[in-house]
Amino acid sequence: MEFEKIPTVPTADEILDRAFRRAASKMRLKRNKDRANEEFVRAVSQAIHDRLVRIMQSFPELNEIPPFYRDIVDIMWGLDRVKKSLGAVGWAARWARTHGPGLAYQTRRAEDTAVLRKRAVARLSSVVHQIDDDLRFLNDVRNVIRKLPHVADDFTVVVAGYPNVGKSSFIRLVSSADPEVASYPFTTKGIIVGHRMAGEERMQFIDTPGLLDRPPEDRNPIERQALTAIINLADVILCMLDASEHCGYSIEEQVRLLHEIERMVDVPVLVVVNKSDLVYFDGYLNMSTETGEGITEVMENLLHIRERSQQEGESVPC
């Protein structure tokens, strides 16, 4: 995505300071004071308009960005709220364009052009100040979305499961990603992307925050980020269980979540039981990111699923 190129969104005062400076430098060139005041108003409104339009255009069209990113924006701030703030910036830009020339004209025709200039500048300033909260909010959004991970088009394994089961430990072991690992739940608070060569092609691994088995409406924004990765990005889901229950959650709860994930998606779900150094769980693929046991088998299974999905993809008639 092009999010990293979104420039800082200035505050109302920053926009106005710059517009005044630009206009003042233009005014210095005018010999006639009255015309200079008119020109000042015209230049300030033009500079405000141009700057606000640039801010709007620097944000991606939210209806056109990939669903994963759209969901993330929605989860973190609400799409409507972001659209509303962009709309407010658009309103102020239009105001400056529509009323700026009129205010400049009135300045020219006034008895005392300096007084009218001050009045016009005050009106323009008040319009820009009205959207100060929107500008500050958009800058917060910008600061977060520019750091969202880049998701490539590679075959993608989304690692999901209850908190603290060892998802990030696995991702660290098998991919270029370096997520934090800790012995408490909800260590991972966002989507983390890593890669590794698997066979001839690169495979993408996505670490997700832990999910609890609970109704969708009770899920917090951190869990909802995991869900959007599961729904939008996965070619296969590696659903991780911790049969030792050292994660702090019962195996029954974890299996219920597994079934929910299986119902949610139509990509393959590979189940793996981690922490086999503590407890071996019969009937499942077991591994330990601590000892390395079973990791090769998990990778082989993933490769096999990739091969199968590529074959199926090739056999689908166009």
Ligand X SMILES: Nc1nc2c(ncn2[C@@H]2O[C@H](COP(=O)(O)OP(=O)(O)OP(=O)(O)O)[C@@H](O)[C@H]2O)c(=O)[nH]1
- Alpha carbons 306 and 259: distance in angstroms, whole number: 22
- Which among ligand X, Mg ion, none contacts residue 290 (Cβ within 5 to 8 A by kind)? ligand X
Q: Give the β-pairing of 155-161 and 201-207.
A: parallel
125 binds Mg ion (CB under 5 A): no
Residue 12 or 75 with smaller CB distance to ligand X: 75
CB of 255 to ligand X, least distance (A): 16
169 binds Mg ion (CB under 5 A): no
String marking each residue 172-201 x if it binds ligand X according to CB under 6 A:
---------xxx-xxxx-------------
Residue 216 or 248 with smaller CB distance to ligand X: 248
Residue of 125, 156, 175, 188 that binds Mg ion (CB under 5 A): 188
Which residue, among 257, 189, 266, 269, has the nearest Cα to 221 in the 3D structure? 189
With H, G, I as helix, E, B as strand and everything else as coil, classify residue 159. strand
Which residue, among 292, 38, 264, has the nearest Cα to 170 in the 3D structure? 292
221 binds ligand X (CB under 6 A): no
User: Are 239 and 271 within 8 A, CB to CB?
Assistant: yes
- The two counts, helices (H) then strands (E), for the chain are 10, 6
Q: From the centroid of its chain, how far is CA 80?
A: 15
- Which among Mg ion, ligand X, none contacts residue 288 (Cβ within 5 to 8 A by kind)? ligand X
Residue 20 or 249 with smaller CB distance to ligand X: 249
253 binds ligand X (CB under 6 A): no
CB of 256 to ligand X, least distance (A): 17
143-172 positions binding ligand X, by CB under 6 A: 163-169
- Which among ligand X, Mg ion, none contacts residue 309 (Cβ within 5 to 8 A by kind)? none
281-300 positions binding ligand X, by CB under 6 A: 288-290
- Alpha carbons 285 and 297: distance in angstroms, whole number: 8
User: Are 55 and 88 within 8 A, CB to CB?
Assistant: no
**Positive or negative, the Cα torsion across 176, 178, 184, 189?**
negative
Which residue, among 182, 191, 243, has the nearest Cα to 66 in the 3D structure? 191
Which stretches of the chain bind Mg ion, using CB under 5 A? 167-168, 187-188
Binding site for ligand X (CB under 6 A): 163-169, 181-183, 185-188, 209-210, 274-275, 277-278, 288-290
